[in-house]
Amino acid sequence: MLDFTHDTSDDDTSPPAGRAAAVSDQALLDAYSNAVIGVTDRVGPAVVRVETGSKAPGARQRGGLGSGIVISPDGLVLTNSHVVGSSRQIGLRDIEGIVTDARVLGVDPDTDLALLRADGARDLRYASLGNSQDLRRGQLVVAIGNPLGFESTVTAGVVSALGRSIRSVSGRTVEDVIQTDAALNPGNSGGPLVSSSAEVIGINTAIISGAQGICFAVASNTAQFVLSEIIRHGYVRRAYIGVSGQTAPIPRRHAVIAGVENKMGALLAQIEPDGPAARAGLLPGDVVIRLNGVDINGVDDLIRLLDRDRIERTVEMDVLRMGRLRAVDIHPIERKPSSRQGSVP
């Protein structure tokens, strides 16, 4: 009887299973480290420390620290509006410690963004804005900034969630916000959130005190819109109708009588005299439920729809007044730059 079996115990050169797993893990760790190192090397030199406040000793104005990202070789810098505040003296410190004076081109508290220009600076290292719509949950991201004054600090994490909404310093909601677990601290504000391809896909803006691994960044597509508006107009153009209001529930009996399905609406509390809303006949107590056929389920929906595309264009607004549905034509105007920090649409 022929034996065709072959003892391979002597010539088996494959590594033990434990060693193979260790080699595989090491390769993954090396790839992760190399990705973070590559992003840091490419984007790190474009991150600046934003110093605000008077430089004179004994000055009353208290200085602040934040971060910013250079987005063009001629010195355009994106940061947070809350970092800039009302400061008139701003300095930018680069990775080599060189300080350059900067001026504010425009701020948009509604998205917590500000655009600066470095004075007399040319051929700066800069980073490119990416397309935040291409992001996926779980994607590797790197945050670079100056947390707690420690310059050029790098943290890494993943995109935890997309499409979040947070409240800005002006009281309005910032839409399409990126949630990440990359560690952020005071001083990271205004710094970039960067993808593994070294593109800026967000501007770090907020942390939740007491929480761990929950941080937020304004999406790069929002930043691109704000950037273009500030360069063109000096501020972000938005429509204005002259009301203040709040989100309020719609009584079920009113909804049934009016034949609407909205459970919530934008309750108008005050009407500005001689404003677009007053001229259209709106009254305090009216509840806005639709604008040009789009459902309004709260004051945030109304604010979001009053964008630049509604300026100087007549739109149809459906409101509930004393339980009865009314259609009103209203002509929004452009919100004045001096009013851009208010919360009244």
Active site residues: 82, 112, 189
Joined tokens for residue 174: 């910032």
H/E element, 15: none
Joined tokens for residue 138: 């779980």
Q: Residue 79: how many CB atoms within 10 A of its CB?
A: 31
Helical ranges in the chain per DSSP H? 17-43, 81-84, 220-233, 252-258, 276-279, 299-305
CA distance 72 to 63: 26
Q: Which residues pair with 248 in a beta bridge?
A: 265
For the CA atoms of 201, 231, 226, 218, the dihedral, rounded to the nearest 10 degrees, stands at 40
Joined tokens for residue 94: 């680069």
User: Do residues 285 and 246 lie in contact, with contact meaning Cβ atoms separated by under 8 Å?
Assistant: no
Amino acid identity for residue 337 in this structure: P
Helical ranges in 44-152 per DSSP H? 81-84
* Nearest partner of 310 among 332, 327, 291, 292, judged by Cα: 332
